Amino acid sequence: MPSRNACGVLLGACLLVFSLLDLSTADGDYSELCRLFKNGTNIRKPGTCNEYIHCSDGEGILKFCEGSTPHYDRSSQKCVKEVSNSHLYCGNRCEGRNGTWVSDPTECQRYFYCNEGVPLEGTCPMGQHFDETSQACLHRVDSHCVDVANICEILPDKTKFRYEDDCDYYYECKSLKQTLNKCSTTKSKLYFNVETGSCMARNLVACTAHSKSGVCSATSSLVYKSDGATCRGYFGCKPFGTVADLDPIWGQCAEGLFFDEKRQICAKATDVVCTHNRCEGRGTMLVASSRNYCHNYIECVDGVEVAEHTCHFDHFFDEVIQACSSKIIYDNCCDEQE
Ligand SMILES: *[C@@H]1O[C@H](CO)[C@@H](O)[C@H](O)[C@H]1NC(C)=O
Ligand SMILES: *[C@@H]1O[C@H](CO)[C@@H](O)[C@H](O)[C@H]1NC(C)=O
């Protein structure tokens, strides 16, 4: 339960509350926040009515509404003359509160202490996050990052954004609350693509948190399993005997090598049959496909598959010359297996 003593639970923080009273120009680093959203998203800055964070190429830029349109409207993501509900959503999060702490939705480490409605900004000690429920700074392992606490109050309704622990999931704002949704169905394994706001085949999405669900089965020796999304990535399933490892560690083969589940090794990309993302770690180039008996090749842009093409019927793709050739070379990677 919350401690009434500002210097009890929040000992380190209490000192900061009284030393960080500069509330006007706390221009934070918003890249942590912007990483969750589609490029170009505007997010109202919490605690203000006229400031917003513009996310562009992963950076957050703080902007102001001025002149004849002094208010920021989270729904239209624009500066407007008037906002409805300004008292509720635009006022500071401390309004009507005294002696309690509220989180700063833009940053896990920060919070506001409410002193008779006035927000006093503070920061948790390094490695800790502010947790509004327990009114305390918690170590990261104990607190699920509260970046997204109340975040839908500052975003347009229906905004879909990344869930950072598993690419199979995403958040969606509905009636000012975020809901967690799953992409995959029993029939198809999908990942959320934040740029299109939709669920897609896993080989088409750049992902940094591959889904661990259903990867491992019970085993009595260490077994490596494909991550089911990329050709380089695998999970190591620990030998727990009669129960499956639910939290396998993800790893990946060195660039240019692919994981071969049958042989349990990393091998030359062109020696491995794999229909997951063959572009990951390979930048922008053309690579051989495992489909269509070596006649197909895949166009990679920044490590993501963008298109698959077919060579002339009596030609085969050659990665070295980056073109179709009359010789077949990669007979190990292209015996189609689906
Ligand atoms: C992101 O959006 C900005 C404009 O807001 C645009 O200039 C930029 O090219 C976009 N970046 C990508 C990777 O699409
Ligand atoms: C706010 O809390 C402080 C400390 O708990 C107390 O002294 C003060 O009277 C409270 N103010 C109001 C308006 O309740």
Q: 116 CB under 6 A from ligand 2? A: yes
pTM over 0.75: no
**Residues with Cβ < 8 Å from 48, sequence gap 6 or more?**
72, 90, 92
- Atom of ligand 1 lying closest to residue 40 CA: 5
Please name the residue whose Cα sits nearest to atom 13 of ligand 2: 116
Ligand of minimum distance to the alpha carbon of 39: 1
Torsion sign over Cα 40, 45, 177, 191: positive
Considering only CA atoms, which of 219, 225, 217 is closest in space to residue 239?
Answer: 219
Question: Which residues, listed in sequence order, are joined to residue 225 by a DSSP beta bridge?
Answer: 235
Tokens 């562009």 found at:
56
Q: Beta strand 118-123 with 110-115: parallel, antiparallel or unpaired?
A: antiparallel
Tokens 């793709």 found at:
317
Under a CB-based contact definition with an 8 Å cutoff, are residues 276 and 231 in contact? yes
User: 296 — phi, psi (to 5°)?
Assistant: -100, 150
Q: From ligand 2's centre to the CA of 116, what distance in Å?
A: 7
Q: 5 CB under 6 A from ligand 2? A: no
Q: Distance between CA atoms of 291 and 298, rounded to whole angstroms?
A: 10
Residue 183: C-alpha distances to residues 169, 192, 199, 262 (Å): 6, 6, 6, 28
Question: What are the tens digits of pLDDT across the range 38-91?
Answer: 999 999 887 677 889 999 998 999 999 999 998 888 889 999 988 765 544 555
Q: 196 CB under 6 A from ligand 1? A: no
**Residues with Cβ < 8 Å from 5, sequence gap 6 or more?**
none
E-assigned strand segments in 104-196: 110-115, 118-123, 128-131, 136-139, 160-162, 169-174, 177-182, 190-193
- Atom of ligand 1 lying closest to residue 39 CA: 1
pLDDT at 247: 95
pLDDT value at 182 more than 70: yes
pLDDT at 314: 86
pLDDT at 20: 30
pLDDT at 299: 96
Question: Where residue 331 falls among pLDDT bands split at 50, 70, 90?
Answer: low
Q: Distance between CA atoms of 223 and 235, rounded to whole angstroms?
A: 8
Helices (H), the chain: 11-19, 31-34
Tokens 């502010």 found at:
130
Sequential DSSP letters for 302-315:
TTEEEEEEE--TT-
pLDDT value at 200 more than 70: yes
Q: From ligand 1's centre to the CA of 55, what distance in Å?
A: 9
Please name the residue whose Cα sits nearest to atom 3 of ligand 1: 56
- Atom of ligand 1 lying closest to residue 195 CA: 14
Please name the residue whose Cα sits nearest to atom 7 of ligand 1: 56
Please name the residue whose Cα sits nearest to atom 3 of ligand 2: 99
- Atom of ligand 1 lying closest to residue 54 CA: 5
Ligand of minimum distance to the alpha carbon of 41: 1
Under a CB-based contact definition with an 8 Å cutoff, are residues 6 and 12 in contact? no
E-assigned strand segments in 82-157: 100-103, 110-115, 118-123, 128-131, 136-139
Q: Beta strand 110-115 with 100-103: parallel, antiparallel or unpaired?
A: antiparallel
- Atom of ligand 2 lying closest to residue 4 CA: 5
Question: Where residue 11 falls among pLDDT bands split at 50, 70, 90?
Answer: very low
Structure token pair of residue 62: 């703080």
Considering only CA atoms, which of 151, 160, 142 is closest in space to residue 200?
Answer: 160
Give, in degrees to the nearest 5, the angle at Cα 14 between 10 and 20.
135
Q: From ligand 1's centre to the CA of 281, what distance in Å?
A: 22
Mutation choice for ligand 1 from 54, 56, 63, 304, CB with most ligand atoms inside 8 A: 56
